[in-house]
Amino acid sequence: MRRKEQVEACYEEHADALSRFAAALVGSNDAQDVLSVAVLNVLRTGSEIDNVPAYLYRSVHRAALHHWRATRRRGRRERVVWEPTPADDHTVDPRIVDALGAMSPRQRAAVHLSHWEDLTTATIAERLGVSVVTVKRHRTRAHAKLKEALANE
């Protein structure tokens, strides 16, 4: 099977999970844009891909990081401070929304993949292309932010 066909088949199989992952990293408004950029980058790569699902997840993660860097640069230029908006569902605790907004994209990725996708630390590390220790560090820092946010009333 050619690489392009492998990527297309993998994307079809994992499209929903990749969309949720992208939404967890950049929000639902920008998730499809980030996912599109990531998939196009994977299709453009000339190198051989050993683990296509992991490569797709890493590409989404990299595209999300690029998105956040661009957003911060644009915000500095326009002197606009980014604030996460609460979800339409009013049952969401605003303290959690604030804590998630204060997390780095890497921390949100670790939390999303471990809690919503039920992945092991080793699988998360493989998908993001980082070490297990790095995943644990990001998850620990994210949990500390959530704990602090929920402790403040």
Is residue 38 located within the same domain as residue 71?
yes
pLDDT at 84: 53
Is residue 127 located within the same domain as residue 103?
yes
Q: In order along the chain (153 residues), what is the average pLDDT of each group of 10 residues?
A: 79 90 90 91 81 90 90 65 51 78 88 86 90 94 88 72
Is residue 74 located within the same domain as residue 108?
no
Helix axes 52-78, 3-26, angle to 10 degrees: 40
Range of the domain at 70: 1-82
Residues in Cβ contact with 148 at an 8 Å cutoff, skipping those fewer than 6 apart:
99
CB 98 within 8 A of CB 149: yes
pLDDT at 83: 53
pLDDT at 153: 60
pLDDT at 82: 46
Is residue 55 located within the same domain as residue 12?
yes
Helix (H, G, I), strand (E, B), or coil: what is residue 92? Answer: coil
Is residue 102 located within the same domain as residue 35?
no
> Domain of 128: which CATH number?
1.10.10.10
pLDDT at 22: 92
Is residue 92 located within the same domain as residue 62?
no
Total domains in the fold of the chain: 2
